[in-house]
């Protein structure tokens, strides 16, 4: 049966419209703008005081116990005294949380950057940023550039060391899991295995009791130990930074935490506006002047 010309034209037009509609449905469409996320965004996920924290409306900050000076004072992280306590509260304020909205939690040093879900929003405990640790946790931008130092009893055989080579025949000690221990094994490479301690307090006791010739800690801690805790000890020297970039302490967060960019942005702002430098001067200004061991 033949269709009339007008009928044919109508059929062709209908088919054309159907094809166009199908093509439009298959063609790439403009992407809808997705809600802002924490990753590098200035969107609502970083809205002050409204972060996706462990407890709504609260910021949970962790550190080890005891909390050592000069990073904290009187073993009381919540008092705002000491460099890291002051930095923690400055970051909290930058994120929109006042002092009354901060909750402190005790977490052992090694556990802070071990794999697994964290119970805190961020941890502050002289944890150096490293590629190895980044496999298990996130870090904020660095809030402090640090060097490692060697402490020995005055009159002991380590006290006269002026180079890394002078340390190789000595018994050295450091806290487990620290960059201090890494410097012993990777930089000094002593002939004897280093003594490894769960806490810095144990390393200090070992030094006082003559169980080790010297211990390695970060430089500000070394200055505090020698000036207030083991006064018959002295700083033998400090190490140069390895790899051409400064070692930095960073705030520790859950791996993939949505808070990481917000916290990093807060730290960056505190560095830019001079707050970190001011707190450094206030709490750590004595930690200068140790000779460099090469």
Helix, strand, coil percentages in the chain from 3-state DSSP, rounded to 5: 35, 20, 45
Cβ proximity of 250 and 140 under 8 Å: yes
Of residues 27 and 284, more confidently modeled: 284
Helix (H), strand (E), coil (C) string for 176-244: CCCHHHHHHHHHHCCCCCCEEECCHHHHHHHHHCCCCCEEEEEHHHHHHHHHHHCCCEEEEEEECCCCC
| Interval 263-279: pLDDT, tens | 999 999 999 999 999 99
Q: How many residues belong to the chain? A: 294
For residue 270, give the nearest of 115, 93, 10 by alpha carbon.
Answer: 93
- The reported pLDDT for the residue numbered 45 is 79
**Which of 253, 5, 231, 244 has the alpha carbon at shortest distance from 112?**
253
Residue 287 has what pLDDT?
Answer: 57
Q: Write the pLDDT tens digit of every residue in 9-63.
A: 333 343 333 333 333 333 333 333 333 333 333 444 799 999 999 999 999 999 9
CB 251 within 8 A of CB 118: no
145-194, pLDDT tens digit by residue? 999 999 999 999 999 999 999 999 999 999 999 999 999 999 999 999 99
* 148 membership: H or E segment, kind and range: strand 148-153
Rounded (10°) CA dihedral 254, 256, 261, 263: 0
Cα 112 from Cα 107, distance rounded (Å)? 6
Residue 286: predicted pLDDT:
67
Q: Which pLDDT score, from 0 to 100, does residue 243 have?
A: 73
Question: What pLDDT score was predicted for residue 26?
Answer: 34
Report the pLDDT value the prediction gives residue 288, as an integer from 0 to 100: 60
Express each pLDDT in 185-225 by its tens digit.
999 999 999 999 999 999 999 999 999 999 999 999 999 99
Residue 220 · residue 144 · CB < 8 Å: no
Exposure of 78 by Cβ count < 10 A (0-12 exposed, 13-18 middle, 19+ buried)? middle
State mean pLDDT over 113-122.
97
The whole-number pLDDT of residue 289 equals 67
The neighbour count for residue 47, using CB atoms within 10 Å, is 13
Sign of CA dihedral 69, 245, 252, 45: positive
Closest to 190 measured CA to CA, from 223, 147, 233, 150: 150
- What is the rounded CA–CA span in Å between residue 87 and residue 127? 14
3-class DSSP state for residue 73?
A: coil
């Amino acid at each position: 049966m033949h269709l009339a010309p007008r009928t044919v034209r109508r059929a062709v037009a209908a088919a054309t419209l159907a094809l166009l509609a199908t093509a439009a449905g298959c063609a790439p469409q403009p992407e809808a703008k997705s809600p802002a996320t924490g990753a590098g965004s200035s969107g609502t996920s970083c809205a002050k005081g409204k972060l996706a924290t462990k407890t709504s409306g609260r910021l949970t900050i962790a550190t080890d116990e005891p909390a050592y000076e000069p990073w904290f004072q009187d073993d009381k992280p919540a008092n705002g005294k000491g460099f890291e306590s002051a930095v923690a509260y400055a970051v909290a304020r930058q994120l929109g949380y006042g002092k009354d909205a901060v909750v402190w939690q005790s977490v052992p040093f090694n556990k802070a950057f071990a794999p697994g879900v964290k119970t805190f929003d961020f941890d502050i405990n002289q944890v150096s940023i490293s590629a190895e640790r980044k496999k298990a946790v996130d870090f904020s931008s660095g809030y402090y550039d640090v060097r490692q130092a060697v402490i020995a009893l005055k009159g002991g055989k380590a006290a006269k060391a002026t180079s890394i080579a002078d340390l190789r025949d000595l018994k050295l000690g450091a806290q487990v899991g620290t960059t201090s221990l890494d410097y012993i094994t990777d930089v000094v490479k002593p002939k004897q295995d280093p003594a490894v301690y769960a806490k810095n307090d144990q390393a200090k006791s070992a030094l006082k009791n003559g169980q080790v010739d010297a211990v390695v800690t970060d430089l500000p801690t070394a200055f505090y130990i020698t000036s207030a805790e083991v006064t018959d000890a002295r700083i033998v020297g400090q190490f140069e930074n390895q790899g051409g970039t400064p070692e930095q302490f960073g705030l520790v967060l859950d791996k993939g935490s949505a808070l990481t960019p917000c916290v990093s942005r807060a730290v960056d702002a505190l560095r830019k506006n001079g707050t970190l430098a001011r707190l450094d001067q206030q709490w750590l200004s004595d930690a200068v002047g140790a000779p460099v061991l090469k």
